[in-house]
A = this chain, B = another copy of it.
């Protein structure tokens, strides 16, 4: 593979001139420029980004760390990130962590070793993670996505308020027995905040918040678990009339289980999701859900990160925009859908 020296020799100039011709053509005499370009083309010269990166201040690499791509929420967000960096000459280094804190640590270390200019990530639990503080202390540019921790650099919706508003919609539809269904609650700060929002809405309506029904997201036996739980509640005479699922994917799984258990949605039981996945609108009945602007979350996070990186030019006197180190809360939306209706008439 030809290197800059080969090109220089072929063009009859020094490597410095080749470098200029490639990066600052205006600094080079047109005739020389042409010779260099010709030489580069003939040799199929492909500049080695590693050399440049090793030398320079920046690599143009952005580290992206997400829990999984199996949930379209993250894929959507990634699309927003891509859209934001498109045309800036940056590239994305991608890692997924499966919500595993240890993998999170490793991944970050790896990305940092590659000298990414900045980090975009969703942590399992941003509030209790010292990671973000460490990164801040090290001066690593970084934005969290989806995590909402008010005092941290992140982009998200107000999960608590959004959840409350969603649950409130259920209440307004006439539901009083509402249970929240979540994955492992302890593993996700978002699910926790949504549960708080659920509690807010319930209490504001004078209802008693119920414990969340937690089911393991990764277990194949989800359907069965749901049915067992339902049967139990049935025996207790306390079957809820509505379920608030902490995310859309979970809602879809739950709905399948309900169907298999012979329950009709929404006639027998209403279901509300959270995320606003596009597929939700394609279902019938359409999935009622709390919509986060996933693509926009990704886009904004990336834009903020770039601003952060660029603001770091002089390294010292840089114009550190303080707003970039606090949360950016994007508006959520309630999407009414066919999975929510009034509760079935009470049977004596």
Tell me the A residues contacting B by CB distance below 8 Å: 44, 46-51, 53-54, 59, 64, 68-70, 72, 75-76, 78-79, 82, 91-96, 109-115, 138, 252-253, 255-256, 259, 279, 281-284
Contacts and interface: CB of A to CB of B under 8 A. Distances in A.
Contact of A69 (B68, B78, B96, B109): B78
Contact of A72 (B75, B111, B281, B284): B75
A79 B68 contact: yes
A93 B95 contact: no
A91 B107 CA distance: 9
B91 A92 contact: no
Given A54-B54, A283-B283, A114 B96 contact: no
A93 B90 CA distance: 11
Nearest to A134: B44
A205 to B, nearest CB: 31
A115 B48 contact: yes
A113 B52 CA distance: 10
Nearest to A254: B282
Contact of A259 (B69, B75, B284): B284
Closest 9 pairs (CB-CB, A-B): A69-B75, A252-B282, A94-B94, A50-B54, A75-B75, A49-B113, A49-B114, A92-B94, A279-B279
Chain A binding surface SS class: helix
A48 B113 contact: yes
Contacts of A59: 50
Given A256-B282, A282-B253, A79 B96 contact: yes
B51 A113 contact: no
Contacts of A95: 82, 91-92
A341 to B, nearest CB: 16
A112 to B, nearest CB: 6
A46 B282 contact: no
From A252, A256, A279, name the one whose CB has the most chain B CB atoms within 10 angstroms. A279
Contact of A93 (B93, B138, B252, B279): B93
Nearest to A113: B49
28 contacts: A46-B113, A48-B115, A49-B113, A49-B114, A49-B115, A50-B50, A50-B54, A50-B115, A51-B54, A54-B54, A64-B94, A69-B78, A69-B82, A70-B75, A70-B79, A82-B95, A91-B95, A91-B111, A92-B93, A92-B94, A93-B93, A93-B94, A252-B279, A252-B282, A253-B282, A256-B282, A259-B284, A284-B284
A46 B110 CA distance: 9
A315 B48 CA distance: 19
A46 B78 contact: no
A49 B91 CA distance: 16
Contacts of A68: 79
Given A48-B115, A50-B54, A256-B282, 6 more contacts: A49-B114, A50-B115, A91-B114, A255-B282, A279-B279, A283-B283
A94 B259 CA distance: 39
Contacts of A49: 113-115
A259 B46 CA distance: 53
Nearest to A112: B46
A99 to B, nearest CB: 14
